[in-house]
Structures are given as structure tokens and as C-alpha cells.
Structure 1
Amino acid sequence: MNDRWKKDYYRMTGEKYKNGIKSFATMRFSHQIKYMKLWRKVSEKGNIVDKIRLHIKAKKYGLEISPKAKIGEGLYLGHAFEITVAGGAIIGANVNLHKGCTIGAENRGERKGCPIIGEKVYVGINSTIVGNIHVGNDVMIAPNTFVNFDVPDHSIVVGNPASIHKKENATQGYIAFCVGKEEG
């Protein structure tokens, strides 16, 4: 079993993955956990059958996360429907993506490309992050926010047009069950 996927499982459930009935039931009834398990497999070395299965699940749940995206350990998919992540996107560890959010490419102009998102970032419902920009660590993107500019560490981004508000521990209380350095 893939260690990175186990960290996604932990972030989404708050429990370590164990072979047993409870983990089996969680897998059976949580589409976002099943999706991420298959996504991790395909993004690392999936075969054609796995790629087809991922495509079917993507259409069923509206989870269009490109296997070409680079996603750190401990991804949390909240209310996981209609989430889009472009192929060139880079997402750090312990990131929360919520319903309707888009991490997308800009096709022309000075920001042509995909975002790089740091660690411990909360992306709220229906938020959009586009272009060759950098979103720092410990950043909260509020629901319904459009971001097409660089965001420094320890910030809250609100609105459309968006504004940045500096705040230490911006994601405290929103990012739970961290993996990696903070995992205890």
C-alpha cells in the first residue's frame, strides 16, 4: 500500500490506515478516499486499466485532478465534488481542497502556466487559483475567492477582487491531522 496515500487517508479521517473492517468500510463509502488511492497509483506508475478506472471515477465525482499534477502528502478533499487541478500544478503537503475549487492554468500573458501552492494551505469552496503564481505556506484562501497573483506566507486571501490580510497561523483550526514534520 502506498505510503503517500496512507497519509491522505489519515488527513481525511483522522485515523491511521489499518487492514481491518473499519478501514474497509471507510474505503467503501468515502469516494474521495477511493479516488485518491487510485490517483496516487496512476500518478506514480499506473497502467492503462487504472487510468481508465480513474477517468471513470473522475467523471462520476467531478474530481478532475490531473495525474500530471505534483501533489504532496496529506491531501484533504473536503465535500469532494467538482474539484479541478491542472496538470502542471504543484501542491505542497497538508493542503485542503474543497468543493468547486479550481487550481488552473493561465494560457497566455505574463502569468502563463500553473500555480505552485505551498504547505498547509486551505482552499475554500468555489475558490479559483490560476496562473504561474506562488501561494506561500500557511495560507487560507476564503470561499469564492479568485487568486491570480502571488500570496506571501501566513496570509488570508478574501474576495473578488481578492485582498491579502497578513496573519500568523492563518490556517490554525482549519488544517487538521498534519503529516510529515508536524506528525506526532
Structure 2
Amino acid sequence: MLKEDLNRTYELVQGGKIKKIIGCYRVPGCHAIVTYRFGQWLAKQNLFTRIFLEPLYIFQYHRMRSKWGIEIPRAANIGYGLYIGHNGGIVISSQVKIGKNLNISQGVTIGISGKGERRGVPIIGDNVYIAPGAKVFGKITIGNNVSIGANAVVNKDIPDNSIVVLSPGCIILEKK
């Protein structure tokens, strides 16, 4: 999965092969994704490997949170093709389930909310874009091919192929 994640950034960087590699290395989102995937891999390893490498994961996770403001716990279930466009203020719940090819921007929160049967975290489909400042929370389902606009607050189910914008309330539009 890590290869697909990094390829998304690699394809967006302009220039030759060396410039693209250096460009990927300089993007904090790539570091966050590597840390997240490393933590997932480490959790599946034998006890000796975990004891030996856990301090490295903890150091990198703390660095990711404090230096770049990106919090993606290794328990989160995120499909391949994750792309983090900008760093800062990104918080993702450890209980979230996200499909492939998620584009996420700065200031985004995907978290738990609700009471009783409505308490939970979002299930997010494939090919979703979440713009800067958007908040997605509660036991909801976000469909495939959805774009969530800047500063939108989403706490309702969103059907496939929709655009969600803030104007000043939540408006759901068909992409067609």
C-alpha cells in the first residue's frame, strides 16, 4: 500500500525523476503516510520485532503530530492511495474506515461523535476529496467519488458522486 500512497505524490511533483524523489521527500504528508504504514506493519510483527522497533515508531509518530500537526493512528483503516496535500491540523480517528484514493487537506478532522446508536465514526468510500478545514464526524457514510468543500461540517450520510459545500449550511449537490 505504501507504494501506491507515495506514487500519488510522485505523480503530482513536476520535473525529472530525481526532482520528483526529492520533492516527495520534502512533503510532510509523505512522512506521515510512511509513519502510518510503518505502524500498521509493525503491529502485525512478532513480539521481538515490535519491542525492537516500537521506540522508532513512537518517536516518528510524536514527530508527525508535533512538527507537522498530522495525527493518523496506526489503528485507522485507510485504503491505498492516501494523499495529504498540506500539513497542519489533520486529525483522523483510530476507528475510521476509509477507502482507496483519499485526498485530504489541512485542518481536516474525521472523528467520533453522537450519542447512543448514532455514536460512531464515518465510513468513507473511494476517491473522496476533503478540502481544507472540513469536519466529518459521527456514525455516517460518505459515498464514492465525493468532494467535501472547504470548512464544510458533515454529520449526515452523503450519497455517491456528490459535492458538499458550506453556504452557510450544508448543501448536497449531484456532480452531474
Both structures adopt the same fold (TM-score exceeding 0.5) = yes
Deviation at 1:109, TM superposition (A): 4.0
Answer whether contact 2:9 2:24 (CA < 8 A) is retained. Answer: no
Aligned residue-pair number: 162
Please name the residue that 1:48 is paired with. Answer: 54
The Cα offsets for residues 17-67 of structure 1, whole Å up to 9 and x where unpaired, read as xxx855652343222112211210102325422133212222111001121
Determine the C-alpha separation between the residues in 2 that align with 1:166 and 1:21: 41
Please name the residue that 1:6 is paired with. Answer: 3
SS of residue matched to 1:14: helix
Determine the C-alpha separation between the residues in 1 that align with 2:40 and 2:93: 13
Provide the TM-score with structure 2 as the length reference.
Answer: 0.84
Determine the C-alpha separation between the residues in 2 that align with 1:108 and 1:151: 20
Query: Which aligned segments of 4 or more residues in structure 1 are displaced greater than 4 angstroms?
Result: 20-24
Which runs of no fewer than 5 residues in structure 2 stay unpaired? 44-52
Please name the residue that 2:104 is paired with. Answer: 97
Answer whether contact 2:101 2:128 (CA < 8 A) is retained. Answer: yes
Deviation at 1:12, TM superposition (A): 1.6
Provide the TM-score with structure 1 as the length reference.
Answer: 0.81
Deviation at 1:110, TM superposition (A): 4.0
Please name the residue that 1:30 is paired with. Answer: 27
Please name the residue that 1:138 is paired with. Answer: 145
Return the structure number with greater helix share.
2
Answer whether contact 2:31 2:64 (CA < 8 A) is retained. Answer: no
One-letter code aligned to 1:133: I
- Greater C-alpha Rg: 2
1:1-184 pair list within 5 angstroms: 4-14=1-11, 21-22=18-19, 24-46=21-43, 47-49=53-55, 50-159=57-166, 160-168=168-176
The Cα offsets for residues 131-173 of structure 1, whole Å up to 9 and x where unpaired, read as 01000001010101000010000101111421111124xxxxx
